Amino acid sequence: MPTRVAKAPRLRYNGTTMSRWGDKYLSPGFLGTRFRCTCGQEHEIPVRRVVISDDATEALAGLAGELGLGKRVAMVADENTYHAAAVKAQAHLEANGFTVAGTLLQPHTGRYVKADEKTAAELMARLDTEASWLLAVGSGTINDLTKLSAARRNLPYVALATATSMNGYGSPLVSLAVDGIKMMVDARAPVAVVGDLGVLSSAPPEMTRAGVGDMLARSLANTDWKIASAIAGDHYCPLSIEILEGLEGVLLGNSEGISRSDPEALEVLFRALMLSSFSLLIAGTSAPGSGAEHLVSHLWDTLALTRGEDARLHGIQVGIGTVLSSRLYRRLETIDPDGLDAGALAARYRERGQLEPELRRFFGPVADRVLEEFSKKCPPREEKREQLETIVRRWPEFMEEARSAVQAPEVLVDILQRVGAPSSPEDIGIPDELLRETIIHAREIRGRYTAFDLAEDVGVLEDFAATVAGR
C-alpha cells in the first residue's frame, strides 16, 4: 500500500513572505464574521483578532482598547505560566493604565493544575468581581478554566498562549474532568488570541511535541466524522475539513525547525493549532479534530484520574493514538465487502447489557459515568441493524474515503520522530495488556461513533487489539 502524505501549498516561509499558510482564516475577512455555509448552517467566528509575532505580548493593551474590553482585567495563570508570560503581560498592561487583578492557581493534587470541577469552582470564587474581561495566560488547562469562567460570568476573554501544545485556543469547548472522566463542555471562545513567539519558543519541548501530536489527529478524526455522519447521522461540515488542507505537508516541511523550537517553525505550528480550533468552532463539536485517537488519550487520562496521578500531556497520547487509529484503518481496508452480511453482523451485535459487566470491571469507580456516555450509541438490535445495513451497503465508499484521506502510519511515525515525540505505546511505558484493553474499551468513554465502533460492528476490533498488543 503506498505511503500517503498531503501536499502543502507552502512548506516554509519567513517573516518577509506575504503569502502565508492559513492567512485566509486568520485575517479580519474571516475573524469576527457570521456567514451561511454550504453545509446548510450559519457559522459565527467570535474570535475577532489573532496576533502572532515576536513580541505579541506588547500588543495586549492596544488590542484591549481596539476591542473595547475596558481597563480592569482579571488575569489567570499558574506557577509556570506566571513566570513564563504573566509577569511581562501584567507589567505591560499596568504601564498602559490597566488595573490587573491576578489569580494564581495551584494544584490540589500532583504537580499540575487540573481542569476539574473543584478548580473551576475555586477560580470562579477568586476572580475579581469588578473585572470587565479575563486574560488567560497559559495553554490547555488555564484556557479551559478561564473560558469556563468567562461563560459563567458572561465576560469576554483573551488567550495569551504560552505553548504550542493544543488546538483549543480559539474554540469554545472545554475539556473538564467530571466525576473522574474528561468531558467536553461548551463554554465561550476568546475574543482574541495572542501568540508571543518569544514565549512559545521558550516552552518545554515536550509541550511543542504535544501540539504536533494533537494536530496529526486531523486526517483520522475527519474520516471518523465523515463515516459517522453516514452511519449515525452526525452533522458534517466540509469547511471544517478544508481549513486545514495540506496540514501534514506543512508539519513535515517544518519538522526540523519545530524540533529546535525555532520561532519561525513554531509560528507555522501555532497557525495550524488556531486553524484547527476554528474547525471545531465551525462544526460546533470537537469531531473535526477528535476521533478514535483522542479516545485513547481520554481513556488513559481517566485511568490516571482514578488513581490520583498526573496525566501525561494530552497531545503526546493523541499522537500515539493517531498511529494506532491509522493502523486500524489499514486493517479495515483489507476486509472483503462481499464477506459482510448485515444479518450476521446484527446477530453478533452485543447490546449494552451484555457489555456492562466487563465495562464495570475495567472502569471501576467511574463506570456509571462511562455507561451514561456509552449508552448514547447503543441502540436496540433492530435499530442497530439499520446502521449495519448502511455499513454493508456503503463499505466500499467508506474504505475509499479512508484510503484517500487517512495518513499512513509510517508518515505519522516519521513526523512524530522528526520532532522528537513518542510514536508508540511502549515509548511511554504502556504495557501490552493495557494496550489491548485500551483498544477494546476506548470507544466506551464517548458517545461519538469512531473507527473503534466501526471495527467492533464488523467484528475485527478484538482481533486487532490482540495483534497490536503482540498476542
Instruction: For residue range 426-438, list pLDDT tens digits in order.
Output: 999 999 999 999 9
Domain boundary among 258, 282, 306: 282
User: Are 182 and 292 in a shared domain?
Assistant: no
Q: Confidence class of residue 227 from pLDDT cuts 50, 70 and 90? A: very high
Helices (H) and strands (E) in the chain, counts: 22, 10
Nearest by Cα to 422 from 174, 7, 430, 103: 430
Residue 13 zone, left/alpha/beta (φ > 0; ψ -120 to 50; rest): beta
**pTM check: above 0.95:** no
Domain boundary among 237, 253, 282: 282
DSSP per residue, 286-306: SGGG-SHHHHHHHHHHHHHHH
Assigned C-alpha cell, 127: 476572580
Strand partners, 160: 137, 194
Of 41-50, 308-317, 334-343, 407-416, the range with the lowest mean pLDDT is 308-317
Place of cell 509556570: 80
Q: What is the pLDDT of residue 79?
A: 94
Q: What is the pLDDT of residue 11?
A: 30
Q: What is the pLDDT of residue 22?
A: 83
Nearest by Cα to 236 from 277, 273, 171, 285: 285
User: Are 354 and 390 in a shared domain?
Assistant: yes
Taking all residues of the chain, what is their mean pLDDT, rounded to a whole number? Answer: 91
User: Are 275 and 291 in a shared domain?
Assistant: no
User: Are 150 and 165 in a shared domain?
Assistant: yes
With respect to residue 305, please indicate whether it lies within any of the assigned structural domains.
yes
| Residue-number span of the structural domain to which 71 is assigned | 23-203+270-282
Of 18-27, 301-310, 350-359, 374-383, the range with the lowest mean pLDDT is 18-27
Q: Confidence class of residue 184 from pLDDT cuts 50, 70 and 90? A: confident
Nearest by Cα to 370 from 383, 385, 358, 388: 358
304-345: pLDDT as tens digits: 988 888 888 899 999 999 999 999 999 999 999 999 999 999
145-179: pLDDT as tens digits: 999 999 999 999 999 999 999 998 999 988 888 88
Query: Is pLDDT of 9 > 60?
Result: no
Q: What is the pLDDT of residue 471?
A: 59
Report how far residue 163's alpha carbon sits from residue 113's, in angstroms, rounded to the nearest whole number.
16
